[in-house]
A and B are shown apart, each in its own frame.
Chain A
């Protein structure tokens, strides 16, 4: 799964709250949990928290505004949302100058080019790595109950920083760099909380490194237990590699597996929409849902859009859209959604 700011905040505060409860039986544990849930929802400020927690709360609210609400509003409203999010993030940094998520999200919004955001992340990495590692070590050393869980939570900002850096390197055309950071993160977190292996799969495909991709898939299918293959990223990377070596049948087979795995894949693979990246992390969506495929196809635009073709969508993009299996699936998808989209006028013609 991807990182979810709201859930992460819940875990942060839950951990802190639990430490202050004297829980000695099932009944008091249940009561404490109920009390926490009530206060988390209705009187957030009454929960015990540090400035770091407060800053993270603001980050979670900003993430909600930019990643969840912004895509669905008009431009003018959007400006307002972006302004609000910016205020929240500024406050977060004021409360906790080491709130790396907030600093990263501000840079994501402010950087005028891919290059500058990439540069910010790369130049800032060393300091973030040191700070986060020191903090996690400190928490572990404290030996308080739940220290291990809290230390893990404290490390997530570094994971997200590395994920963002890898993703930005990928879209800047720096594939070896993208892989280096993705592999660093996979070494830190073999369970791959942030699904950085998906970014790595696309980078291996860009470098036409089939061995690299299969080694990644092999390693991750052992260490990531909650996501059985195939996922859309691995299939898109496999498809790209097949096309690149001239293996059309292999490519069509990978596309067929996407169509079989994901709902409404025909439409999604034809449209090939590009979405803005989530600013907190990759947007959390349900595994194997159409939303996930939309996300994967959007991230795979680095693969789809490369190379010369007549329509101008990229050599792979055209190949995918023209694939007979994809076309068939698209027609079926369109037929299935048509009745809800056609008005009575349309029907009477």
Chain B
């Protein structure tokens, strides 16, 4: 999801200021927000805000250093990757030096380590429990919108849970992924963490057609790369081959290059901490969906072969590769 880290820092600073010096009037709050937005640094004095600001800087540098990766050969890429991971690790440590409870720094640290997904899941669950136990020391009052995401001080824990849902699916703790995703979907009105994508894949893996349909209906039956691929997988697993074929056609017709993305999966960097942005219907989105679906795809060993054998699939994939200068 697209996330405006800078705005989150501004919101934190404004709420803290209001709690310490306020309550400010609506107009004064707006004015303060504008001042902070123009130059947040002087207002980020609380250790936990400073820690988050450091981490955000680290994440920005990490993103920037990824530009141009595709022009590097393997060796240069691995070197560049190791270097930027190390820099990010330093930023996490710097953030934790300011605020030893900085949840986001801990989250990024967990996600960037080369551990088994199951170990990452255990670490994320421990972090979530730690945050739950720490209680609420947020300044002022959370906005009474009913959506926990509107409370900037609640976001770190929501991010941890969002990452947990995605990691649990990676580790094949499917029901855990589903429950976590559902919990977040139920509380966050606009599903800002994209949990419906994770839920769709989990329901497909559990061959839960009823649950899948309910999810689909809940989001207005707007298909997306994840739900289309998940539906094809689920119907294949339920051995409803004609319907599976139609769902696969849905996946390949909605996303450009989807056939190529499925038949030639590529490496995707760990999400730190969010799933990266991708335009709806784009090849990049299909790549993310295929990446997240990978453990489930591999679990149905003949699924990809079956996909490749469907009329037009390999032709579509080859044509996309040729048009975009990709290997086929």
Q: Which of A177, A310, A319 contacts B239 (CB 8 A)?
A: A177
A residues near B300, Cβ cutoff 8 Å = 172-174
Instruction: Decide if A310 touches B116 in the complex (CB within 8 Å).
Output: yes
Q: CA separation between A175 and B118, bound complex, in Å? A: 22
B289-308 vs A, Cβ < 8 Å mask (1 yes, 0 no)? 00000110011111101100
A residues near B172, Cβ cutoff 8 Å = 244, 306-308, 314-316
Instruction: Decide if B238 touches A244 in the complex (CB within 8 Å).
Output: no
B231-244 vs A, Cβ < 8 Å mask (1 yes, 0 no)? 00000011100000
A277 within 8 A of B: no
Q: CA separation between A244 and B295, bound complex, in Å? A: 14
Instruction: Decide if B125 touches A308 in the complex (CB within 8 Å).
Output: no
A10 within 8 A of B: no
B131 within 8 A of A: no
B residues near A302, Cβ cutoff 8 Å = 299
Kindly name the residue among B115, B125, B171, B300 whose own CB sees the greatest number of chain A CB atoms within 10 A. Answer: B171
B residues near A114, Cβ cutoff 8 Å = 301-302
A208 within 8 A of B: yes
B29 within 8 A of A: no
Instruction: Decide if B118 touches A243 in the complex (CB within 8 Å).
Output: yes
B residues near A246, Cβ cutoff 8 Å = 121-122, 125, 173, 176
B303-316 vs A, Cβ < 8 Å mask (1 yes, 0 no)? 10110000000000
Q: CA separation between A171 and B237, bound complex, in Å? A: 11
Instruction: Decide if B114 touches A310 in the complex (CB within 8 Å).
Output: yes
Instruction: Decide if B207 touches A176 in the complex (CB within 8 Å).
Output: yes
Which residues B118-133 have CB closer than 8 A to chain A?
118, 121-122, 125
Which residues B158-175 have CB closer than 8 A to chain A?
170-175
Which residues A208-231 have CB closer than 8 A to chain B?
208
B residues near A310, Cβ cutoff 8 Å = 114-116
Given known pairs A306-B172, A310-B116, the reply for A208 and B206 (CB within 8 Å) is yes
B residues near A307, Cβ cutoff 8 Å = 117-118, 170-173, 295
Instruction: Decide if B303 touches A173 in the complex (CB within 8 Å).
Output: yes
Q: Which of B117, B173, B237, B305 contacts A175 (CB 8 A)?
A: B237
Q: Which of A174, A176, A245, A306 contacts B175 (CB 8 A)?
A: A245
Nearest chain B CB to A302's CB is how many angstroms away? Answer: 8
Given known pairs A246-B122, A307-B170, A308-B171, the reply for A113 and B176 (CB within 8 Å) is no
Given known pairs A175-B237, A243-B173, the reply for A308 and B207 (CB within 8 Å) is no
Q: Which of B118, B173, B238, B303 contacts A177 (CB 8 A)?
A: B238
Interchain residue pairs A-B with the least CB separation, the first 5: A173-B300, A307-B172, A309-B116, A115-B302, A306-B172
Residues of B within 8 A of A (CB): 114-118, 121-122, 125, 170-176, 206-207, 237-239, 294-295, 298-303, 305-306
Q: List 29 A-B contacts (CB under 8 A).
A: A115-B305, A173-B303, A175-B207, A177-B239, A207-B206, A208-B206, A243-B118, A245-B173, A246-B122, A246-B125, A302-B299, A306-B172, A306-B295, A306-B298, A306-B299, A307-B117, A307-B171, A307-B295, A308-B171, A308-B294, A309-B116, A309-B117, A310-B114, A311-B116, A315-B172, A316-B118, A316-B172, A318-B116, A319-B116
With A115-B305, A248-B122 given, name 14 new contacts (CB 8 A). Answer: A172-B300, A173-B237, A173-B299, A246-B121, A246-B125, A246-B176, A306-B299, A307-B117, A308-B116, A308-B172, A309-B116, A309-B117, A315-B172, A318-B118
